[in-house]
Amino acid sequence: MLIFGFHIKTSSHLHHCHSSTMVRIPEVKLSSGGKPMPRIGVGTAVFPFASSEAMRATILRSIELGYRHFDTAAIYQSEEPLGAAIADALRAGAIRSRDELFITSKLWCSDAHPHLVLPALQKTLRNLQLEYLDLYLVHWPVSTRPGKYELPPAKEDLLPIDMSAVWRAMEECHALGLTRSIGVSNFSSKKLETLLSIAKIPPAVNQGNKVEVNPLWQQQKLREFCVAKGIQVCAYSPLGAKGTHWGQNWVMDCGVLEDIAAAKGKTLAQICLRWVYEQGDCVLVKSFNEERMVENLDILDWELSEEEKHEIGQIPQRKGFPGLDFVSDDAPYKSTAELSSSSSSMARMPEVRLSSGGKPMPRIGMGTAVFPFASSEAMRAAILRSIELGYRHFDTAALYQSEEPLGAAIADALRAGAIRSRDELFITSKLWCSDAHPHLVLPALQKTLRNLQLEYLDLYLVHWPVSTRPGKYVLPPAKEDLLPIDMSAVWRAMEECHALGLTRSIGVSNFSSKKLETLLSIAKIPPAVNQVEVNPLWQQQKLREFCVAKGIQVCAYSPLGAKGTHWGQNWVMDCGVLKDIAAAKGKTLAQICLRWVYEQGDCVLVKSFNEERMVENLDILDWELSEEEKHKIGQIPQRKGFPGLDFVSDDAPYKSTAELWDGEI
């Protein structure tokens, strides 16, 4: 059937009302009773927040198309145009009564004080020209200084919330008949559990991040909790809220969703909305474009296949709006982990099992080598933030001076609730050359564990196939300090560390195929990992093939060339082939490099303390390089960024880099 030039499928979902063809939207009963909530609603948050005649006209049109559930908030400045549009719809006969609509609004943080809740709701009702709401929500588990309606709020305005007293005021609004149901928004499972323990009227809805729900932030744990407690989840940002203060492009740029949409003959938006709908959630859509308004309703008479749902279930997870606006060192919530009382904005990270067993290794890790080597509070803070963003694999070394700040950041993360246990992390450190003597291996590992405040490592590596004079942690080492390594005895000491339970796996770094072969011939426990330089300009094909054949996992350092370090070069970031591929694909050059390494089957270590790049470096999991792009990268002339000249000398065990690498460079 065509409505104003747009196709709507005729089915049992359509009925006639006042000569206007409308989609009948399924409803769900709330635990509080009252009117059922339509499963598809219209959001009215337009950023920057503003009231407009265009919004009023669009809401009226959406009512004519069949929408009956509208979501507003004091902060959005959309209550007045929504109220005017409802009055217009009544005058035009698009609806017979306000009772045909389901209207939700929200208490802003500046009114989240017990004495301000009722006046705030009364003001909302005046704005809407209504006698009651169907649902009133606490917008965030946050209070701010009264009188200011702004997002983001000023950090100095963030205040503790007296949730018990605020909820009693919400219950009073319900008792007065000013709202038929009450609920919350942006509440974690833990905060809901606390609220349920003190509430006389339990929250009917958790509209968190209205809970933010989309295929890239699926909220499985929170949904299971809400279902068990009879709380209806209402999803906002189902398409990622691209273009808003709280949104990202990630959902609409997701290759998995693009492929499913193309195969199914649907839009990517429809795939997202149908997926949310099939989870049992209510879903809030927001478009003032009539074609898309119609499209957003066309999700009711078809289904996703089990295979499609499985593919969506495998999409790496990342939260679009972690709530940084509500955290500050001087505020009640010091971190997003505290705000969410859970794991915050974690990405679901693919892992690989090591030959030694134990915990799987996350495929993307965070490196901590900053040159010149130094410990810093900035590093500690950056590592904590990376944990909140979803990183779980961290690489350090005795040489880097980063063990102590990494250990402190892990302790911070545990205190903040960003992780529940150290066991959620995969921690690697390395034996420096000055400790690569049989009698020094165990004391070196014990010192590393003290620095990290840990009882065990997940992986301990021999940093180089080199020994130097004990007691000096320097790069480059003095040439006169270079000594032969007794690899057989050093490896026996590494195996002893493993037997003592001080490290779950052992491995090596900067070993050639020939050196690995020699080690394998004498090892009782074979090395689980070889951490080496890998990037599109140093592809390590021969070494990788050897490692795969022997069950040794390659872990790539310097995937971007380590520009700016003692061991790095600009060559990777200046490569024209990579620049062209990045431009054509709409990715950064760094993402092209990281994805290429990832597609080789390697684990990859990234290092950035810039939050935007930390997030960017995780955004390599849901798209692929084409065969043509991989072929072009395969043709790039090869050159090793760090040949290891620091470890060769006429008077040293290795006289040349050819000896150090056994002719493999």
Instruction: Determine the 3-state secondary structure of 313 from DSSP.
Output: helix
**DSSP-assigned states of every residue in 34-77:** SSPEESEEEE---SS----HHHHHHHHHHHHHT--EEE--GGGT
Nearest C-alpha neighbor of 589 from the set 533, 536, 534: 536
Report the predicted TM-score, pTM, of the whole model to 2 decimal places. Answer: 0.55
pLDDT tens per residue, range 97-155: 999 999 999 999 999 999 999 999 999 999 999 999 999 999 999 999 999 999 899 99
pLDDT of residue 432: 97
Length of the chain: 665
Separation CA 127–CA 106 (nearest Å):
13
Is 400 known to be catalytic?
Answer: yes
pLDDT tens per residue, range 365-420: 999 998 777 768 889 989 998 998 889 999 999 999 999 999 999 999 998 878 88
pLDDT of residue 342: 40
pLDDT of residue 25: 92
Catalytic residue, candidates 67, 391, 400, 557: 400
With a cut of 70, list the residues of the chain below it in pLDDT: 1-22, 49-51, 207-210, 243-247, 337, 341-348, 375, 564-565, 567-568
pLDDT of residue 587: 93
pLDDT of residue 84: 97
Q: What phi-psi label fits residue 25: left (phi over 0), alpha (psi between -120 and 50 degrees) or beta? A: beta
**DSSP-assigned states of every residue in 415-439:** HHTS-S-GGG-EEEEEE-GGG-SGG
Question: By the 8 A CB rule, do 261 and 272 touch?
Answer: no
Which tokens go with 577? 């082939």
pLDDT of residue 486: 97
